[in-house]
Amino acid sequence: MQYLQVLANGIVLGALYACLAVGFSLVWGVLNVINMLHGSFIILGGYLTFFAWQNFGIHPLLALPFVAAILYGIGYVTQLLVINRVVSQPVLTTLTLTFGLDLILYNYMTVFYTATPRRVTLDLGHVELGGIFMPVDRLFGMVLALALTGMLYVLLRGSRIGRAIVAVRMDGAAAALMGIRINRIYAITFGIGALMAGAAGAIFSMVFPITSNLTGDFLGKAFVVCVIGGLGSVPGALVGGLALGIIESFAGQFFGPQHALTVGFLLMLVLLVVKPTGLTGIKGYE
Amino acid sequence: MVITLDKLSRLMVATGFVAIGFAASPGNAQDTIKIGAPLALTGGLADEGHKQVVVWDMWLAKVNGAGGINVGGKKMKVEIVKYDYQTNGTRAGQLAEKLVTDDKVNFVLAPFGSGHTKIVAAVAERYQVPLLACASSSESVFNQGLKYLFGTLSPNGGVTTAVVKYFKVQVPTLKRVAVLGRDDVFPKSMAQGISEAAKAQGLDVVYDQYYAVGTMDHSASVSAIKAARPDWIYVTGYTQDLILVRKQMADLGVKAPIVSMMTGPAYKEFTDGLGNLANGVTSSNWWHHATTYKGVGVWPSTQDFYKEFVAKNKHDPDYVHASCAAATVVLQDAIERAGTLDKAKVRDALAKTDITTFYGPVKFSPNGMNQERDLPIIQVQDKTIKVLNPPEIKSADFQVMK
């Protein structure tokens, strides 16, 4: 029975990991930009949700689409005005740029909101199935992760914008020759990445105490999930998140909580050596 | 040395450090007492770092408002030179060194937490500069034979033994204890302390584990604790860890008659972040504003400090605020008794300190730590903090968690 609970813990935790990684994976895969802002975008989404709830009594699930839309706008503008200027440079240049932008955003959040941990104290409780406990807010996280992944998959395969994103990813120069406005597609993709961070932040405001201190932890997790699941692959973030969640959960059970994180990183190292494309092994969205 | 804006901007560009507290650098260095403070103003301990700034600024305003500190008959204004070490231990050491060698501070105030205090203490000792630590209670920091380090918190050991004794009386059936600690200097030392104290007093420690710094999920530990069926769950960590653990305990249906968290309930943000889930959680604490001490310094009584703090900040002070404010009171007292800014003489005056302040009695043990005293045990009841012990400041009876 206890192992079933450990498995359930791992699955819901994994869903949260998938939630925070899916936008990061998209941006990395399509733009070849390692977006160091991603963790701060999640926290910003969390703060916006928290203050909407505290000041106006808006439920986080209601605030979610608005927060996601605001983050989309921020992401779109950031890419259009700033990152696009260096997007064709080597990956280290864009990494340094987003790192710098992250320092600015992170420190502004610390100054404006202070680092005090804040949480939306709406406890949605848990469901119990045959002695297995599943927290409802984490189940929402799971639904969101699945929905985001599904929507992104459909968007990329079925819409004009989606096909344009895939085309740009496959061959930017050829896509430009076909009349696709590359800079706009980049901005939309980055905006979608930020939108997903904002949506994740809205759910996380009920699960985690939101503080600007967590930005680095979230970014680190997104990184590991992408490497495990497979870079740039939409289902990869889901698979990677679930794999990491389940592994950490069982590692915490067998080796003690002290070593749970180590085991997750070991898995990443092993995969980098034996299967660098990650578990899903997909190289694109085609 | 007066730091001009131009110099500062060049310094910022060259080193990337953000320096603050420079603008009000008053006059000639000889007329000013300079106190250095490497602070965590950004990064993981930013919240705690800002607490130190708040009370030091309060103290500074009061002292300078009264003309300064009396040094051998001459009133001298005080300046605190602050640098942000961004919660990066290595940088804390570098900035402490810069404060001593470049800014030529007379004394140093240590940052929050035992880990970073230890780093700064090594620098202070090397240059023989008196260092006042206000948020470090791990004996491992003070057991290094350092002569220039003085701390206003009492040792962790006294806190853990008293807590076990108290709960054994309150819950006579208490037998099984689960301990979950953050693998970090202070929280680990508290977890080790409670585990040893519980064993020494005949309790069974049925779960005794640490979680890594950066852990974002505690479901594995919480599930294992549930299986161990403890009567008392004792968790240590920083506020965000403790909020998460308490939340996950509720998520996974884990209950125990006693749930203690160090030092969660001591902070307002713990109760704010948990709402009703905070109710029933107990903690031990170094100070509570319900105490009624009278003593020396710019705040003659606990009430004076409390009233001024609440008027300025619109919330209650916690032990970090009080202990850090007390550190400046103690330093002022030592300077006045020494009658000089000579570092060795002020150090000797600090060692002889035997005073009562708004924060309580301060008398340093030979290792530089404040002596043990009866420290408050608190519980969150109906989202407010109640003092359970010691009896003279008790405001409520212990409530068993349901």
pLDDT in tens, B49-86: 999 999 999 999 999 999 999 999 999 999 999 999 98
Share of chain B above pLDDT 90, in %: 68
Q: What is the 3-state secondary structure (H, E, C) of B220-239?
A: HHHHHHHHHCCCEEEEECCH
pLDDT class of B105 with cuts at 50, 70, 90: very high
Q: Report whether B256 contacts B170 (CB < 8 A).
A: no
Residue B270 lies in a domain: yes
Cα gap A108→A130, rounded to integer Å: 47
Q: Are residues B252 and B328 in the same domain?
A: no
Q: Which span out of A16-30, B92-106, B383-397 was modeled with the highest average pLDDT? A: B92-106
Interface test with A, best of B88, B251, B263 (most A CBs within 10 A): B251
Q: Is B211–A253 a contact, with Cβ atoms under 8 angstroms apart?
A: no
Contacts of the segment B127-132: beta carbons below 8 A, 24+ positions apart? B127/B97, B127/B100, B127/B101, B128/B343, B128/B344, B128/B347, B129/B100, B129/B105, B129/B343, B130/B331, B130/B334, B130/B343, B130/B346, B130/B347, B130/B350, B131/B107, B132/B107, B132/B108, B132/B327, B132/B328, B132/B330, B132/B331, B132/B350
pLDDT at B18 over 70: no
Note the pLDDT of residue B334.
97
Cα gap B232→B220, rounded to integer Å: 18
In this structure, the number of other CB atoms found within 10 A of the CB of residue A67 comes to 27
Query: Structural domain of residue B105, as residue ranges?
Result: 5-154+290-363
Of B180, B220, B244, the CB nearest to A249: B220
pLDDT class of A284 with cuts at 50, 70, 90: very low
Of B183, B220, B275, the CB nearest to A121: B275
Q: Is B218–A253 a contact, with Cβ atoms under 8 angstroms apart?
A: no
pLDDT 10s digits, A197-250: 999 999 999 888 999 888 999 999 999 998 898 877 778 888 999 999 999 999
Residue B401 lies in a domain: no
Residue B399 lies in a domain: no
Q: Is B252–A209 a contact, with Cβ atoms under 8 angstroms apart?
A: no
Q: Which residues does chain A have within 8 Å of residue B212's beta carbon, measured at their own beta carbons?
A: 257-262
Residue B339 lies in a domain: yes
Give the count of domains, chain B: 2
Q: Which of A64, A60, A44, A54 is nearest to A109 (CA)?
A: A44
| Nearest C-alpha in B relative to A221 | B216
pLDDT class of A281 with cuts at 50, 70, 90: low
Q: Are residues B294 and B276 in the same domain?
A: no
Q: Are residues B89 and B136 in the same domain?
A: yes
Average pLDDT value over all residues in chain B: 88
Q: Which of B80, B86, B87, B110 is nearest to B16 (CA)?
A: B86
pLDDT 10s digits, B171-205: 999 999 999 999 987 889 889 999 999 999 999 99
pLDDT at B91 over 80: yes
Cα gap A200→B87, rounded to integer Å: 27
Residue B261 lies in a domain: yes
Q: Which position has the higher pLDDT, A199 or A110? A: A199
Of A117, A250, A259, the CB nearest to B273: A117
pLDDT at B24 over 80: no
Q: Is A133–B47 a contact, with Cβ atoms under 8 angstroms apart?
A: no
Taking residues B32-47, report their average pLDDT. Answer: 90
| Nearest C-alpha in A relative to B268 | A116
pLDDT 10s digits, B228-275: 999 999 999 988 899 999 999 999 999 999 999 998 888 888 999 899
pLDDT class of A282 with cuts at 50, 70, 90: low
Cα gap A141→A45, rounded to integer Å: 14
Q: Which position has the higher pLDDT, B380 or B158? A: B380
Residue B370 lies in a domain: no
Q: Which of B377, B250, B63, B313 is nearest to A128 (CA)?
A: B250
Q: Are residues B133 and B201 in the same domain?
A: no
pLDDT at A59 over 50: yes
pLDDT class of B43 with cuts at 50, 70, 90: confident
Q: Compute the nearest-CA separation of A190 from chain B (Å).
A: 26
Residue B402 lies in a domain: no
Cα gap B55→B108, rounded to integer Å: 15
pLDDT class of A138 with cuts at 50, 70, 90: confident
Cα gap B322→B317, rounded to integer Å: 7
Taking residues A108-113, report their average pLDDT. Answer: 87
State both tokens at B151.
């701390």
Q: Which residues does chain B have within 8 Å of residue A9's beta carbon, measured at their own beta carbons?
A: 217, 219-220, 223, 252
Note the pLDDT of residue B11.
45
CATH of the domain at B50: 3.40.50.2300
Q: Is B252–A138 a contact, with Cβ atoms under 8 angstroms apart?
A: no
Q: Could you give the residue ranges of the DSSP H alpha helices within A32-90?
A: 38-56, 60-81
Residue B398 lies in a domain: no
Note the pLDDT of residue B402.
77
pLDDT 10s digits, A256-267: 888 888 888 888
Nearest 5°: phi and psi at B4? -85, 165
Q: Is B42–A126 a contact, with Cβ atoms under 8 angstroms apart?
A: no
Of B210, B239, B277, the CB nearest to A258: B210
Q: Are residues B356 and B379 in the same domain?
A: no
Taking residues B339-358, report their average pLDDT. Answer: 95
Q: Is the ipTM of this complex over 0.90?
A: no
Q: Does B44 touch chain A (CB under 8 A)?
A: yes
Q: Does B342 touch chain A (CB under 8 A)?
A: no
Note the pLDDT of residue A76.
96
pLDDT at B380 over 60: yes
Q: Which fold has domain A2-117+134-274?
A: ABC transporter involved in vitamin B12 uptake, BtuC (1.10.3470)
Q: Is A260–B220 a contact, with Cβ atoms under 8 angstroms apart?
A: yes
Taking residues A97-124, report their average pLDDT. Answer: 89
Q: Which residues does chain B have within 8 Å of residue A248's beta carbon, measured at their own beta carbons?
A: 217, 220
pLDDT 10s digits, A143-195: 888 888 888 888 888 889 888 888 888 888 898 898 888 889 999 999 999 99
| Nearest C-alpha in B relative to A217 | B214
State both tokens at B127.
């240059």
Q: Is A135–B252 a contact, with Cβ atoms under 8 angstroms apart?
A: yes
Q: Report whether B36 contacts B103 (CB < 8 A).
A: yes
Whose structure tokens read 């940052």?
Answer: B111
Of A114, A123, A259, the CB nearest to B50: A114
Q: Are residues B218 and B353 in the same domain?
A: no
